Chain A
């Protein structure tokens, strides 16, 4: 029962990671762009959400309606004004540019919100749970998992069934060839990053409801998203989802073995996958 509980909690934790991993799978896996500030953007949106909910007394749902467009605008600007300038064969400039952005964001948030941890009140939803045969399942984590599954399925369909998805895959495969067929890679990339960061608007609200948030939390979220994408396999949208589940389960089981072992168990699974199946679990070959 203890391990079944760990498994279930792990899948639910994986749902949270899957939301971060989704944007990462799109940018890192498909566009081959590195955004070191990915985790810091989640934290920024979560903190903005918490402050807005306190200041204006708005609930989680209206907040999502405000934060998602805001996040999409941030993502679009990030691509247009920063990443589009460093797109190219060499990935070092995008790594360094977003690394600098990450440092700047973390310290800016530290100045604005101080190092305190804070959390969002969701009117009871954050603590509601259902008892199924002695295992307590939180309503919010289930909601997060459902949202992650729907978003992953939706993004996967977008990538394979729409003009935009085709244009994005074409631009990522061969920027110049795509440009010759009438695709403007920079415009397509800007929309893709708007989607990747826009999802973080939703994740930010979930993150703030589910856990405590402090300005220094970004790097950990970035590492989890990265690990999920690599474990699952690059270039596959569902790969990031599967990787998140594996990571969540590894961490939850690790925590049951020893509270100091949880995060480490996740890292060790990641390193094992890297050593034995570097192309990821979902990729063919």
Chain B
């Protein structure tokens, strides 16, 4: 057990409870080790894996990242967006323009492209933050549609016919694979790892409080408005990063693909079916979606009917998703963000350090 003694800020004169805070469990330490091993396997994959499998890993990483960004939005900030494709598309297009038209190294352009979805998020949020719940959701969708239609009318980015990333031909297949896989690994560290770090930090308490009851959180000193704004912008940038990487791997982007509402569908399915408000849930949901998309898409659209019905049933009968069903039966947190307080033992005396 990882333990830490902390000093609780209390009023002068109040006795300070001698509590031990537990932040890890056996299962979470195994999960952390497994993540480290998987990350090493991932970044070394270009030297031992097949190209086809590398593409799978890229795809899966992208799903994981955009879903986790949506999870922060919906699960903690209470902001349900069905317009995340706006950020996927603008980041992808920015990367293509920077690399193709300005001659910037594409692997650097991926990181620079993240600024544009961040900037787009500012007016979007300014316009939509007054709307609550469903209004906000459909509002984000309208913004995404408007951005798509604007891009469709811009001749500079070839309007409806889209762009091709020809500059990638200067690299060998191996170099491209190393570059993209390393980008994916960094993306997962930033989006999923970053969320985990954020949720375990002091800010995580504020986020959890906001998730459970925004009004009560506000009264406890959490700046809900500011936090929501920051999460919206951060999620836009994280989603954009995933979009840039995805379209770099595709080597081609069109308005119809980049701004496809199915990006939002993917987020909603993964998070709601997997389990909203937990990192484990996103992992479970992303696995289900990836397997379904990979192996059942060849039999037509029937698998999407089933995924849609699964989303419907989760909303009706299991709001906490599959991970919620699992964790209500067995307690094996993989990415615990809570704090377990162990009371003072009678044998132990003296104050806290």
Contact = CB atoms under 8 A, between A and B. Distances in A.
Contacts of B300: 111
Contacts of B74: 92
A256 interface: no
Interface in B107-166: 127-128, 130-135, 137-139, 141-143, 145-146, 149-150, 152-153
A278 interface: yes
Given A93-B319, A95-B80, A107-B304, A267 B142 contact: yes
A53 B145 CA distance: 34
A260 B311 CA distance: 35
Interface in A43-100: 82, 85-86, 90-100
B153 A223 contact: no
A264 B153 contact: yes
Nearest to B130: A278
A100 B308 contact: yes
Given A99-B268, A223-B138, A226-B138, A107 B316 contact: no
B297 to A, nearest CB: 11
Interface residues of A, number: 44
B310 A263 contact: no
B265 A268 contact: no
A226 to B, nearest CB: 5
A34 B312 contact: no
Contacts of B304: 103-104, 106-107
A271 interface: yes
7 contacts: A82-B312, A94-B134, A100-B272, A100-B312, A103-B304, A222-B138, A267-B142
Contacts of A268: 146
B309 interface: yes
Contacts of A103: 265, 269, 304-305, 307-308, 311
Contacts of B305: 103-104, 107-108, 111
B274 to A, nearest CB: 13
B122 to A, nearest CB: 14
B149 A260 contact: yes
Given A86-B315, A261-B153, A271-B127, A96 B308 contact: no
Contacts of B311: 96-97, 99-100, 103
Contacts of B128: 274
A209 B106 CA distance: 49
Given A108-B305, A260-B153, A275 B127 contact: yes
Contacts of B132: 91
B265 A267 contact: no
B261 interface: yes
Contacts of B134: 28, 34, 91, 94-95
Given A104-B305, A260-B152, A271-B127, A86 B146 contact: no
A92 B308 contact: no
A181 B41 CA distance: 65
B315 A100 contact: yes
B308 A107 contact: yes
B302 interface: yes
A93 B181 CA distance: 36
Contacts of A106: 304, 308
B8 interface: no
A139 interface: no
A99 B312 CA distance: 7
A263 B142 CA distance: 11
Interface in A98-149: 98-108, 110-111
A191 interface: no
Nearest to B271: A96
B323 to A, nearest CB: 16
CB-based closest 6 A-B pairs: A100-B311, A104-B308, A103-B308, A100-B312, A97-B315, A107-B304
A108 B302 CA distance: 7
A48 B129 CA distance: 39
B301 interface: yes
Contact of A264 (B80, B141, B146, B314): B146
A219 interface: yes
Nearest to A267: B146
A97 B131 CA distance: 20
A101 B142 contact: no
Interface in B274-304: 300-302, 304
Contacts of A34: 133-134, 137
Given A91-B133, A223-B145, 16 more contacts: A82-B312, A93-B316, A94-B315, A96-B311, A99-B268, A100-B269, A103-B311, A104-B307, A107-B308, A261-B153, A263-B149, A267-B142, A267-B146, A270-B142, A271-B146, A278-B131
A278 B139 CA distance: 12
B218 to A, nearest CB: 17
Interface in A219-252: 219, 222-223, 226-227, 230
Contacts of A104: 304-309, 312
Nearest to B304: A107
A111 B302 contact: yes
A96 B301 contact: no
